[in-house]
Amino acid sequence: MTPWTPADMPALDGRTAIVTGANSGIGLPTVLELARHGARVIATARSEAKGEEAVAAVRRAVPGARVERALLDLADLASVRAFAEGVDEVDLLINNAGVGMTPRSLTKDGFELQFGTNHLGHFALTGLLLPKLLARPGTRVVTVSSDAHTRGRLDFDDLTLERGYGRMSAYGRSKLANLLFALELQRRAERAQADLKSVATHPGATATNIVKVGPLKPLLGLFLLSPETGALPSLYAATSPDIRGGEFVGPKLRLLTPSADAASEELAARLWDVSTELTGVRFDRLAAR
């Protein structure tokens, strides 16, 4: 079988895509290929300068690309709401941005940074954009998780991790939450008979800014995937006609099996309820019919 490449992507003319964390890592090649195939792409970043650099890079590679930058800080729910209010339409939402292995700190809303940014920010963004997603046919939400989700544990009595913090375990917890969210979103879309597919991805060990290992980074880089390769699961999940909602796509576009915790419908429902309470964002349009 010939390996799938971005050359196999369908034409995306008339489709609007949003990519969070678009200025670096796998976000930038994701934006580039979506734009190359005709999509209008809203590329979000936390700073105007970085967003402008990303947009300029895409336009140099794809003259005439329909790409625009937008400010979005997923660690600030006010920023999430302001961004969502400014979106006119969306067909593809790629929840890509993330922070990892950071010292313990809190978001502007008082959430542990990795959980607040990687999960709660994207949960709120998806919920706020849901009416616009459901107004379009064949929409997709792609949420970037990781195999690190297997090292995550959810303690609902200590979501700020005041009783103990580990950089990697906190990252794994946020990626577990990403996967739980993606799978639960698909279940709720199916129950509501909504024309929406939710897909999770794992890019593989990729050379991105999320990997911070000091002087060892150049050596480690010899064993890491390029951002272009790491972006393939997201691009495939967002555009392939063969993808099904609820799938978990990994490196080489293999379908992965979520951990027992990630597959738990009970745990997913509880996380959904807690996330709704913490963010104040409801997915009323996905109420079962």
171 is catalytic: yes
The DSSP secondary-structure symbol of 135 reads: T
Sign of the four-CA dihedral 127, 103, 264, 158? negative
Is the Cβ–Cβ distance between 13 and 38 less than 8 Å? yes
E strand segments, 81-228: 92-95, 139-144, 196-201
The residue annotated as part of the active site, out of 111, 115, 123, 171, is 171
Cα–Cα distance, 204 to 236 (Å, whole number) = 14
Q: Is 174 helix (H, G, I), strand (E, B) or coil?
A: helix
- Phi, psi angle pair for 163, to nearest 5°: -90, 0
Between 167-191 and 122-134, two packed helices, what is the crossing angle to 10 degrees? 20
Cβ atoms of residues 92 and 17 within 8 Å: yes
Q: Report d(CA 270, CA 31) in Å as an integer.
A: 33
Residue 131, token pair as written in the block:
């009416």
Among 53, 69, 59, CA closest to 36: 59
State the Cα–Cα distance between residues 191 and 182, nearest whole angstrom.
15
Closest to 139 (Cα-Cα) out of 266, 256, 8, 239: 239
What residues act catalytically? 171
